Structure 1
Amino acid sequence: MQSTPPTAAQKLDDEEKIANAKPYTQVPGPKGYPIIGTLWTLLKNNGFYQKRPHLLFAEYKKTYGPIFKDKIGNMELVFISTPEDVATMFSAEGKYPSKGPVNPWVIYREQRKKPKGVLIGEGEDWRRSRSVMDKKLLKLKDVSAYSERINQVITDLIAHIRQKRITDNRNGELANLKDALCKWAFETNNTILFNKRLGAFNDPPTPIAKRFYETVCQMLEVTGQFMLLPPYYKYIKTKGWKAYCSYWDTLFEIGGKLIEEERNRLSSTEINLLNNRQNKQRTEDLEFLPYVLSRGELNDEEIASNMIELMMAGVDTTATTILWTLFILGKNPDIQDKLYHEVSSVLKDGELPDSQTLQKMPYLRGVIKESQRLYPVVHATARILDQDVVLSGYHIPAKTRVLALMHLISRDESIFEEATKIKPERWIRSSASSQHQRLPFSIISFGLGPRMCIGRRIAELQMELTIARLISEFHVDCRNENEIGATFSLVASPDQDLQIAFQPRN
């Protein structure tokens, strides 16, 4: 979604709206303490609301309405919860959209003097990285070509599940399903980004896969712990901060090694990167990493920064979305039966799904979309406004950091009919109960605009292929008896271990 420049009439209309709006100082919100604001509200009771911010924001919405502001430490934030305000927020994101800094990632880069990539970069530096990366990650033709290698990793995941059913000896349950799914996402991302299978599912895993994967998991876990704390580590280098930096050092070391290996491989196969750079068609036909190398616009450390960010962004997010989707299927046998019928009616015996056959599975996409709606792995989408706007009747000035609370929007009965009910049909255009066309800005799992998730198409292909394959191979049952909620670290995961059992269909 690239916004077009406003006309003179639109500018006058916007100025009139701002002139008639209530001032920013009147935006309601909780009263905090000096210096720390409402940080104590998040941290008290063993960080109850720090782990469950969506519950706190739901209470704030009841108290203050669809818009409120809050000061957490030195950050003043405005929270919105209507699709109309979300649309306005994105319309004011500017040429170089900014979500605000991911402090632990940014401060590490600054201290180590390393470049920022497409996730945390800003301004022209971000645009330069994005322009190199997105052409091979967002074009349907290129993404469709990844079906075969994604299926190869899924085959390994299925074999892993079958083996773990036996070794875990829990009547079909896996002792650590989240770990298996993170390995699946990690291995898939690397086979696309670095053009190489690392061997996370090998028995035992290859040394590089083991070290790379474990470091990614450690880094993601500790990032979640640092995220809502004031960035004291910018000035005070604690033992914990030093350990965190060592994880990043390892990631850059391994990423740099993989890039060097690919460059050497290309040299040994007599693929001339300079000649490819001069031949646009030949460049377009390359795999992702050779393509990025052939462009010659980023140095190896910049490439490593981008590759690591892209790889990590797709581990916890896609793995957790699959986990929530399996939870939905395991708790709703009627939905699972419909999905199995759709998948088995499209695929012939022994046929693996690909990007083409997936187009014939709208119910599959609806199931995943409902998972993303009811259990979004990211509770809020942020932008720093590039211009003054009016949100819910209030004048919000430029440079304000606004967060769209998608978890609240997705469960709002005034927006979604039977909002808490799982209805995959609501996303099928041909369905009588479809709300697809009537719900703009009500679910934005991958963001919008120039800063939309660069891995969106690959993530969608990954998840659709994986759920189609798993539901073809297994009947899924969720045996948890207590209500499942969400707990937030870097992403929103189930607040207890899911007892997911896999029973082979044949």
Structure 2
Amino acid sequence: MDTIVKQSLAVPMKKLSSCVTGVKEREVWARRRAKRGTGVKSSPPRTGQTTVTHSYQTDLEKERKLREALNAQKHAERAAMRDHFRKKYQLSKSSKDTSHLSAAQGKGALPRQLAKLIGPETPAKDDGYSLLSAFQGLSFNMGMLGGKQTKSSTPMSVNGEACKTMWSVSVSPSMFQGIQGMCVSVRPAACVRIQRGMCVCPAGTVAGLGVEGVTPARGGPAGTGGGRGLRRFEEIPHTGSSGWLNLVKFWREDRFKLLHKHMERTFNTLGPIYRERLGTQSTVNILLPSDISELFRSEGLHPRRMTLQPWATHRETRQHSKGVFLKNGAEWRADRLLLNREVMMAPAVRRFLPLLDEVARDFCRLLATRVEKEGGKEERGYSLTIDPSPDLFRFALEASCHVLYGERIGLFSTSPSQESQKFIFAVERMLATTPPLLYLPPRLLWRLGAPLWTQHATAWDHIFSHAEKRIQRGVQRLHSTQAAGGGSGGAEGEFTGILGQLMDKGQLSLELIRANITELMAGGVDTTAVPLQFALYELGRNPAVQEQVRVQVKAAWARAGGDAHKALQGAPLLKGLVKETLRLYPVGITVQRYPVRDIIIQNYHIPAGTCVQACLYPLGRSRDVFQDPERFDPGRWGTQESGEGPGGGGGFRSLAFGFGARQCVGRRIAENEMQLLLMHILLSFRLSVSSSEELSTKYTLILQPETPPRITFSTL
């Protein structure tokens, strides 16, 4: 049986061996004879079999060489493509790509389609070449020189379809000095249709409306580029390419204190969008509500804003938990939803509103006593001119603590505690040292023990120490109440503060409650006390507006019968007063987002993940957005709040507290705190100022007066 199998498989095995080894068949037979040592000659294969086998081997060899050549060409093309972009963006070379290019013996080139995108094919140079021939096929739009726009013919693609957008190519200023804004349009025959709804010009700029993953912005009055095509991110006007040089200029010229004015000047110079690099930070700054609307539509489920890295580094080095202000992603969303129930929802507002009203009434009673005691007698009563800022800071801290901890801390007594005064000073020091640290690596400064970092960290340590003492007192009080059988809510219907509500629900750990309560406390003093200074000053220098708001407040208070919630609902001008103050003097001068998808703003392509910030100070003073922006008019928000203003964008004209899911978590506390105090002040006093000039301002993470204004309070 074995003999039969061997004989039947002998010939196929010989052929297979010849194909696999690639050795001529005669040599195989010779080796087998030598191995057997029999001396018996085996008959060589027939000539016909040898010819077939040799032909088969030749075909295999050709296929192998062709396959290797194709692979080498692909590797060389990819290496050339990567090498092109490495040179363009000044990246280091890759040894792997270099070996692929050398293996191709310098024959590696960019893929044809990519080469068309990057640049045009260079035409053969003829004997008649001249400078004039270089501009053949280009039409110069000279109407731009005189500020007029001229109609141009629509460029056509290769397949005859009309391109939806005509492209403009910027001409180097060195070629045409003194001619600014010159527009050069590419001749129609040069456009190449590469995708549906897209057109590519020889300069490599993508034109059209069909770019995948990119959504065009809705047009505003100034805002869409006047029919130009989509432009690259690198073409956005900028203040300088070197972030470190810009940072040095900022320090040398002390621009941090006037950052809001710098933004306003830059928008006036560069237009409604520009890029800026400062140290480690790189941002795109925008102005118009229509552009801001497009930004917020792309914020995603977990909106991100610029992380205040100095604050985050302090938490990490001190091993403190982070609150929602410093968190991102799903963790932020989970904590934020739990906090919203106690600080943002309407039932929560109704619970803590009486506490704020109590503090506001006490403030006005103490102020009235001081005016009568220290002020001068007049026909209608007494009047006193003071700097109210220290009293406003104490009011803000007293009101915040009452809402957060459910207890008063006695700042309105004749001798307020030194501990609370130190807390206010620590908050001011923390805010003042934050802006310079935003553009430097804080961990490096921490390791070096830099004085600036030491001041910042020490201020935060004092804030945490003060908050920790208050939290411990609140926890002990709640535990004693629970032990007495009253539950954490105290007596029936009694509100014991946001701390008690969070502990009662038990959905956040005590460590996370501490972190968020501390952030709310640190962020709830200056951010309400400073806008109140601006509001009182504007009411003092606009007596007609003051009287208009007072009339409405008196009527609403009489109808409400002492109910603060009903009184605020019946006086919409109070809400407009706060919004108008924050329009002219926003506490935070920017609102940032990192879009989760590519977007188009002002016809510029902005990649996903870019830090884009809406600049609120220039926005509030822009004539493209507000009619007569210098006029202080709380009534403007009653007529245009929900409609389209001059700048479009609907409701994206008032963003002092942010927008959407990532808006200020203490917004409801701050809004009602300011409205209630202004209501009681207008019911008790007439305000006046000695100067009608606008206040000079400075920026220290929040916008505040250069010098606190002096205001005259006259009893009614």
Inter-partner Cα distance in structure 2 for 1:404 and 1:284: 41
Pair 284,395 (structure 1): closer, same or farther in 2 beyond 3 Å: farther
Bigger mean CA offset, 299-308 vs 461-470? 299-308
Pairing 1:15–2:218 present: no
Letter of the 1:485 counterpart: S
Inter-partner Cα distance in structure 1 for 2:300 and 2:612: 14
Pairwise mapping of residues 296-445 of structure 1 onto structure 2 (< 5 A)? 296-348=506-558, 352=562, 354-429=564-639, 434=640, 436-438=642-644, 439-445=650-656
Inter-partner Cα distance in structure 2 for 1:410 and 1:479: 25
Match of 1:205 in 2: 416
Q: Tell me the SS of whatever aligns to 2:330.
A: helix
Match of 1:7 in 2: none
Pair 330,415 (structure 1): closer, same or farther in 2 beyond 3 Å: same
Pairwise mapping of residues 158-197 of structure 1 onto structure 2 (< 5 A)? 158-162=364-368, 165=371, 172-175=384-387, 177-197=388-408
Contact 2:276 2:283 in 1 (8 A): yes
Shift of 1:129: 2.4
Match of 1:216 in 2: 427
Match of 1:29 in 2: 238
Pairing 1:252–2:461 present: no
Contact 2:698 2:704 in 1 (8 A): yes
- RMSD over aligned CA atoms reads 3.0
Q: Residue by residue, what CA displacement relative to the aligned partner does 1:118-150 show, whole Å, maximum 9, x if unpaired?
A: 111222332232122111111112212222211
User: Could you list the runs of 5+ residues in structure 1 that have no partner in the other structure?
Assistant: 1-10
Pairwise mapping of residues 231-242 of structure 1 onto structure 2 (< 5 A)? 231=442, 232-242=444-454
Shift of 1:349: 10
Pairing 1:38–2:238 present: no
Letter of the 2:535 counterpart: T
Contact 1:199 1:209 in 2 (8 A): no
Q: Tell me the SS of whatever aligns to 1:68.
A: strand
Pair 479,135 (structure 1): closer, same or farther in 2 beyond 3 Å: same
Pair 272,136 (structure 1): closer, same or farther in 2 beyond 3 Å: farther
Pairing 1:64–2:276 present: no
Contact 1:29 1:60 in 2 (8 A): no
Q: Tell me the SS of whatever aligns to 1:269.
A: helix
Match of 1:3 in 2: none
Pairwise mapping of residues 271-310 of structure 1 onto structure 2 (< 5 A)? 287-310=497-520
Q: Residue by residue, what CA displacement relative to the aligned partner does 1:13-43 show, whole Å, maximum 9, x if unpaired?
A: 763657962111111112254x504113322
Inter-partner Cα distance in structure 2 for 1:219 and 1:484: 24
Match of 1:6 in 2: none
Inter-partner Cα distance in structure 2 for 1:312 and 1:242: 18
Contact 2:406 2:495 in 1 (8 A): no
Q: Tell me the SS of whatever aligns to 2:709.
A: coil
Q: Tell me the SS of whatever aligns to 2:688.
A: strand
Size of the aligned set, in residue pairs, is 483
Q: Higher relative CO (CA 8 A, sep ≥ 6), structure 1 or 2?
A: 1
Inter-partner Cα distance in structure 1 for 2:297 and 2:668: 23
Inter-partner Cα distance in structure 2 for 1:390 and 1:283: 52
Pair 23,272 (structure 1): closer, same or farther in 2 beyond 3 Å: farther
Q: Tell me the SS of whatever aligns to 2:528.
A: helix
Letter of the 2:449 counterpart: K
Match of 1:149 in 2: 355
Inter-partner Cα distance in structure 1 for 2:212 and 2:290: 15
Inter-partner Cα distance in structure 2 for 1:25 and 1:188: 48
Of 244, 261, 264, 2:476 maps to: 264
Shift of 1:355: 1.3
Letter of the 2:468 counterpart: G
Contact 2:539 2:545 in 1 (8 A): yes
Contact 1:355 1:461 in 2 (8 A): no
Shift of 1:161: 2.9
Q: Tell me the SS of whatever aligns to 1:15.
A: coil
Bigger mean CA offset, 466-475 vs 51-60? 51-60
Pairing 1:471–2:677 present: no
Bigger mean CA offset, 289-298 vs 374-383? 289-298
Q: Tell me the SS of whatever aligns to 1:419.
A: coil
Percent identical: 27
User: Could you list the runs of 5+ residues in structure 2 that have no partner in the other structure?
Assistant: 1-208, 218-228, 377-382, 645-649
Q: Tell me the SS of whatever aligns to 2:282.
A: strand
Q: Residue by residue, what CA displacement relative to the aligned partner does 1:221-267 show, whole Å, maximum 9, x if unpaired?
A: 33355445553524422244234323322322332332232222222
Pair 16,197 (structure 1): closer, same or farther in 2 beyond 3 Å: closer
Pair 314,286 (structure 1): closer, same or farther in 2 beyond 3 Å: closer
Inter-partner Cα distance in structure 2 for 1:92 and 1:160: 49
